Structure 1
Amino acid sequence: MLDSIKIKLQYLLPKQGLTRLAGWGAEKRAAMLTHWVIKGFARYYHVDMKEAKDPDLKSYPTFNAFFVRPLRDGARPVVSGLDMLCLPADGAVSQLGAITDGKLFQAKGHFYSLEALLAGNYLLAEQFKEGQFATIYLAPRDYHRVHMPCDGVLREMIYVPGDLFSVNPLTAANVPNLFARNERVICLFDTEFGPMVQILVGATIVGSIETVWAGCVTPPREGIIKRWTYPAAGSEGAIALEKGEEMGRFKLGSTVINLFAAGQINFMPQLSNGTVTRMGAPFAEAIRQSTKVKAETAVVQTDPIVVDDIKTPTETTPVPAGMAQAGVTKPAAPPEEI
């Protein structure tokens, strides 16, 4: 009964107004009042301040400064290895697995369209057809900076306006198409493992979504889709980020969705619905081309060809994988309004 009331309120409450109010309050410097709010929040949600670079709650001038607090050095070691991808955020796995028939699993029998998630961009959706996805939910107590799962060169950023439903597990299980209807920032990267998308999903009282290259992407909330394009690897102004490097942050709670192309990665077997995640820990392992070729050759075993009683088996040469990495800093093209 209580859960049903909570879901109905999601539809009835003025989510945009509440979010603006929360964002305004979270940026205010109110001295002792700010300290009381931060202290109460940390106690209620059991925030582990021992991991923070500055564990003193009184040192944060605003609630937002506390909420996006950096961690101390060494708090989140990043998994090593060229074939290993790291988890992009602290939180818990909501869902992960295959993108089947252009759909992603949300929760409790709900699926949503890959094309809808990508704001109707069917050409971009085609790149991830039959690929893999992972959805990670960041609870209020979590560290709220988002990092790169692998080295990547930014190619495109798309801001998509939308609803601001909560993205907690209860809402995910009861609001259809939740992630395809909420506000979001879609970031497309070129990586060694093919194209990779990292999506920062907005939610109720998420005051803003920021990226390290563009700063605050939302607000303002103008109700139009915006698109930015960036130079390719090796070009002047290319934006290259390394595995484990920060790429964005939420000022109050939310969700990160990763998309990978087909045949590029396998998620770590220990990850499943509800698994607690820590940024930098093992996320997935690359499927190298040489491994794919060997697997394909091993699948079909035929009798050898006999010529004058000499048996000659067939052979396959492995193909190496790789990608040139690139430079740094500023976007080369202004946003397009769609």
Structure 2
Amino acid sequence: MRAKLYRSLIRLINGPATSRILLKFAYSDYSKFLIKPYAKFYQINLEEMHEDIKSYPSLHAFFTRRLKAQARSIDSKADTVSSPVDGVLEDCGEISPTSEIIVKGKRYSIAEMLGGTKTATTYIGGTYMILYLSPAHYHRIHSPADSEVISTYSIGERSFPVNRLGLKYGDAALSKNFRVVTELKHHNISLAMVKVGAMFINSVEMVNHHREWKKGEEVAYFSFGSTVILIFEKETFQLEETLTIPSEVRMGEKLGKFLYNK
């Protein structure tokens, strides 16, 4: 009953018209007066921002802010996977033989998430990681490893909440929301990075269109809080032992390491 009520309410207020109005406002000069209250409410660290808070012309510009060059340390080892974002590691686990994952007690289809059974077959028995970005987090996305870009494509039209309530009561938001999938190859290991749009504003903007990505370099950004899912082939990734679920992680922090015995 709660799930049905939640989904009905979200669908009622989350339409194309609402999204356009919010996006237009966020880009406008009128939204500038919200920047300081927003920063205060979410306790955003102003010292690590690349620009002074007064210089941002709109709430969107502040939301997609960049950080100072030394604000994050990128794990430098060639065989490690670094976090592509600031966020919360909400879950990590194994992809089932039926290409499904279980998050907060709900099943999600990797085939649906990636847009095809053939693509999903690569990751059966592999590992998934879910990194949630709240409105308080830095919203630029970076490469998790030195990789070759195999393909980038988008799927879906509308987006619903991907916070804990959304994962608990929503209708498979991780595999149905608007999302941009980037398939990568690190040496002979395949991995996918799924950038999932959030409620109201679908926007996932790719800013790096090179065929080669270097670990830690910026590749995209969200225009609203959202989620990044990393997916690895079977027996090619080992989670960092010190990480617990859930836990806060920072962009560039070591999430685990590649296993080259594939």
- Of 62, 69, 91, the residue aligned with 1:73 is 69
Give, in whole Å, the separation in 2 of the partners of 1:4 and 1:116: 22
Give, in whole Å, the separation in 2 of the partners of 1:174 and 1:89: 25
Deviations 1:34-88 (A, max 9, x none): 332111111111111111112x221001211111111112111001212111011
Match of 1:111 in 2: 107
Match of 2:120 in 1: 125
Q: SS state of the match for residue 285, structure 1?
A: strand
- Structure 1: unaligned runs, 5 residues or longer: 215-237, 293-338
Match of 1:275 in 2: 247
Question: Do the aligned partners of 1:95 and 1:105 also contact (CA within 8 Å) in 2?
Answer: no
Q: State TM-score, norm by structure 2.
A: 0.93
Match of 1:213 in 2: 208
Q: SS state of the match for residue 173, structure 1?
A: helix
Match of 2:13 in 1: 13
Shift in CA distance, 163/272, structure 1 to aligned 2, threshold 3 Å: farther
Match of 2:156 in 1: 161
Question: Do the aligned partners of 1:159 and 1:186 also contact (CA within 8 Å) in 2?
Answer: yes
Shift in CA distance, 87/14, structure 1 to aligned 2, threshold 3 Å: closer
Question: Do the aligned partners of 1:20 and 1:207 also contact (CA within 8 Å) in 2?
Answer: no
Deviations 1:145-203 (A, max 9, x none): 01111011111111112331111111101124221111111111111251111111011
Match of 1:61 in 2: 57
Match of 1:284 in 2: 256
Instruction: State the shift of 1:281 in Å.
Output: 0.5
1:82 matched to 2:93: no
Give, in whole Å, the separation in 1 of the partners of 2:29 and 2:202: 16
Give, in whole Å, the separation in 2 of the partners of 1:171 and 1:80: 35
Q: SS state of the match for residue 29, structure 2?
A: coil
Larger Rg: 1
Question: Do the aligned partners of 2:238 and 2:257 also contact (CA within 8 Å) in 1?
Answer: yes
1:244 maps to amino acid: G
Q: SS state of the match for residue 155, structure 1?
A: strand
Give, in whole Å, the separation in 2 of the partners of 1:106 and 1:16: 28
Instruction: State the shift of 1:12 in Å.
Output: 2.4
Give, in whole Å, the separation in 1 of the partners of 2:79 and 2:125: 21
Give, in whole Å, the separation in 2 of the partners of 1:161 and 1:22: 20
Indicate the larger mover: 146-155 or 13-22. Answer: 13-22
Deviations 1:215-237 (A, max 9, x none): xxxxxxxxxxxxxxxxxxxxxxx
1:189 maps to amino acid: L
Give, in whole Å, the separation in 2 of the partners of 1:240 and 1:135: 24
1:259 matched to 2:231: yes
> Number of matched residues?
261
Q: Let me know the Cα RMSD of the aligned residues.
A: 2.0
1:268 maps to amino acid: E
Shift in CA distance, 100/81, structure 1 to aligned 2, threshold 3 Å: same
Give, in whole Å, the separation in 2 of the partners of 1:44 and 1:7: 27
Give, in whole Å, the separation in 2 of the partners of 1:271 and 1:59: 37
Shift in CA distance, 256/51, structure 1 to aligned 2, threshold 3 Å: same
1:146 matched to 2:118: no
Q: State TM-score, norm by structure 1.
A: 0.73
